Amino acid sequence: MKIPISLTVNGDKYDVMVSPLSKLVDVLRDDLLITGPKKGCAEGECGACTVIMDGKPVSSCLVLAPQADGKEITTIEGLEHEDGTLDPIQEEFMNSAAIQCGYCSPGMMIMSKALLMVNPHPTEEEVRDALSGNLCRCTGYQQIVDAVMAAAEKERGGE
Amino acid sequence: MAENKGFNCIGKSVAASGAWEKATGRAQYVPDMKLPGMLYGKMLRSPYAHARIVNIDTSKAEALEGVKAVATIKDTPQVNFGPMGTNEDWYIFAKDKVRFIGDEVAAVAAIDEATAEAALDLIEVTYEELPAVFDMEEAMKEGSPVINEKWPDNIASQKHFGQGDIEAGFAEADLIVEEEFYTNEVYQSYMETMCALVRPEKGSRLTMWVPIQIANKARLVYAKALGISPEDIRLIKPFMGGGFGAKFETNIHLACAVLARKTGRPVKMINSRHEDFAAGNPRVPIKYRVKMGFKKDGTCTAKYMHLVGNNGCRTVYGPAIMSTACYRIDALYKFPNVKVDGYLTYTNTVPTGCFRGFGNAQSIFMIERMMDIAAEKLGLRPEEIRKVNAMTPNFTNPHGWRVGTCGLTESIDAVLEAAQNRPKTEVSPGKLRGIGMACCNHVSGNRGFFPTFDGSSSLIRIAEDGKITVFHGECDMGQGQDTVFAQIAAEELGAKFSDVRVAEQDSQISPWGLGSYATRGTTVGGNGIIAGCKAAKKILFEEAGAMLGVDADQLDSRESIIFWKRRPEKSLTFSEVGAHYVFNHAGSCIIGNGYYRTGDPLPDPKTSYGNVSPAYIFGCHMAEVEIDTLTGHVDVVNYWAAHDSGRPINPTLLRGQIEGGIGMGLGWALWEDMIIKDGKVLNDGFLDYRIPGTVDMPRMTTIFIETDEPNGPFGAKGIGEAAINPVAPAIVNAVCNALGVHFNELPVTPARILAALKTRNKHQVI
Per-residue pLDDT of A40-84, as tens digits, reads 999 999 999 999 999 999 999 999 999 999 999 999 999 999 999
- Report how far residue B408's alpha carbon sits from residue B405's, in angstroms, rounded to the nearest whole number: 9
The 8-class DSSP code of residue B154 comes to: -
ipTM metric: 0.98
The 8-class DSSP code of residue B698 comes to: P
Q: Do A76 and B25 touch (CB under 8 A)?
A: yes
* Beta-sheet pairing, A72-74 with B67-71: unpaired
Name every chain B residue with its beta carbon within 8 A of the beta carbon of A84: none
Per-residue pLDDT of A5-23, as tens digits, reads 999 999 999 999 999 999 9
For the whole model, what pTM was predicted? 0.97
Name every chain B residue with its beta carbon within 8 A of the beta carbon of A39: 31
Q: Do A100 and B699 touch (CB under 8 A)?
A: no
Main-chain phi, psi angles of B563, to 5 degrees? -135, 155
How many angstroms away from the CA of B14 is the closest CA of chain A? 8
Q: What is the pLDDT of residue A159?
A: 52
Q: What is the pLDDT of residue B118?
A: 98
Minimum Cα–Cα distance from A19: chain B residue? B114
* Neighbouring-strand partners of residue A73: A9, A53
Q: What is the pLDDT of residue B762?
A: 66
Q: Do B239 and A102 touch (CB under 8 A)?
A: yes
DSSP string, B346-371: E-SS---B--TTTTHHHHHHHHHHHH
H or E segment and range at residue B224: helix B215-226
Q: HSE-up of B440 (CA within 13 Å, CB side)?
A: 38
3-state secondary structure B552-606: HHHEEEECCEEEECCCCCCEEEHHHHHHHHHHHCCCCCEEEEEEECCCCCCCCCC
Cα distances (Å, whole numbers) of residue B149 to B46, B136, B146, B216, B313 = 20, 17, 6, 30, 12
The domain limits of chain B are: 33-130+194-242+247-279, 286-447+605-765, 455-596
* Greatest Cα-to-Cα distance within chain A, rounded to the nearest angstrom: 52
Mention every residue, 6+ apart, whose C-beta is less than 8 A from residue B222. Answer: B208, B233, B235, B249, B253, B254, B257
The 8-class DSSP code of residue B288 comes to: E
How many angstroms away from the CA of A121 is the closest CA of chain B? 18
Q: What is the pLDDT of residue A158?
A: 58
Name every chain B residue with its beta carbon within 8 A of the beta carbon of A108: none
The topology (CATH level 3) of B33-130+194-242+247-279 is Aldehyde Oxidoreductase; domain 3 (3.90.1170)
Residues of chain B with pLDDT under 50: 1-3, 765-766
Name every chain A residue with its beta carbon within 8 A of the beta carbon of B686: 40-41, 43, 45-46, 135
Q: What is the pLDDT of residue B763?
A: 57
May I ask the CATH architecture of the domain B286-447+605-765? 2-Layer Sandwich (3.30)
Confirm or reject contact between A134 and chain B (CB < 8 A): yes
Nearest to B355 by CA among B309, B305, B306: B309
> For chains A and B, what is the number of CB pairs under 8 angstroms?
174
The 8-class DSSP code of residue B716 comes to: B
Q: HSE-up of A29 (CA within 13 Å, CB side)?
A: 26
The 8-class DSSP code of residue A43 comes to: S
Q: What domains are there in chain A, each with its CATH number? A: 3-79 (3.10.20.30), 88-157 (1.10.150.120)
Domain at B455-596: CATH code: 3.30.365.10
- Report how far residue B587's alpha carbon sits from residue B336's, in angstroms, rounded to the nearest whole number: 61
Q: What is the pLDDT of residue A84?
A: 94
Beta strands in B671-714 (DSSP E): 676-677, 680-681, 700-704
Name every chain A residue with its beta carbon within 8 A of the beta carbon of B477: 101
Confirm or reject contact between A23 and chain B (CB < 8 A): no
Chain B contact probe: residue of A18, A142, A143 with most B CBs at under 10 A: A142
Q: Do B663 and A139 touch (CB under 8 A)?
A: yes
Cα distances (Å, whole numbers) of residue B385 to B292, B388, B561, B646, B744 = 13, 5, 54, 25, 19
What stretches of B612-726 show up as alpha helix (H) in DSSP?
A: 651-670
Q: What is the pLDDT of residue B764?
A: 54
Q: What is the pLDDT of residue B176?
A: 98
Confirm or reject contact between B476 and chain A (CB < 8 A): no
Confirm or reject contact between A93 and chain B (CB < 8 A): yes
Beta strands in B74-210 (DSSP E): 97-98, 104-110, 124-129, 155-163, 175-183, 195-200, 206-209
Q: Do A100 and B273 touch (CB under 8 A)?
A: no
**Nearest-CB residue to B695 (from A33, A36, A128):** A128
* Beta-sheet pairing, B206-209 with B233-237: parallel
Confirm or reject contact between B80 and chain A (CB < 8 A): no
H or E segment and range at residue B416: helix B408-420
Q: What is the pLDDT of residue B32?
A: 98
Q: Do B693 and A75 touch (CB under 8 A)?
A: no
Q: Do A141 and B241 touch (CB under 8 A)?
A: no
Confirm or reject contact between A41 and chain B (CB < 8 A): yes
- Report how far residue A102's alpha carbon sits from residue B404's, in angstroms, rounded to the nearest whole number: 35
Ramachandran quadrant class, B610 (left: phi over 0; alpha: psi -120 to 50; beta: rest): left
Confirm or reject contact between B36 and chain A (CB < 8 A): no
- Report how far residue B402's alpha carbon sits from residue B396's, in angstroms, rounded to the nearest whole number: 4
- Report how far residue B353's alpha carbon sits from residue B638's, in angstroms, rounded to the nearest whole number: 32
Q: HSE-up of B52 (CA within 13 Å, CB side)?
A: 6
Query: Are both B33-130+194-242+247-279 and B286-447+605-765 of the same fold?
Result: no
- Flag whether pLDDT at A2 surpasses 90: yes
Per-residue pLDDT of B423-438, as tens digits, reads 888 898 999 999 999 9
Confirm or reject contact between B641 and chain A (CB < 8 A): no
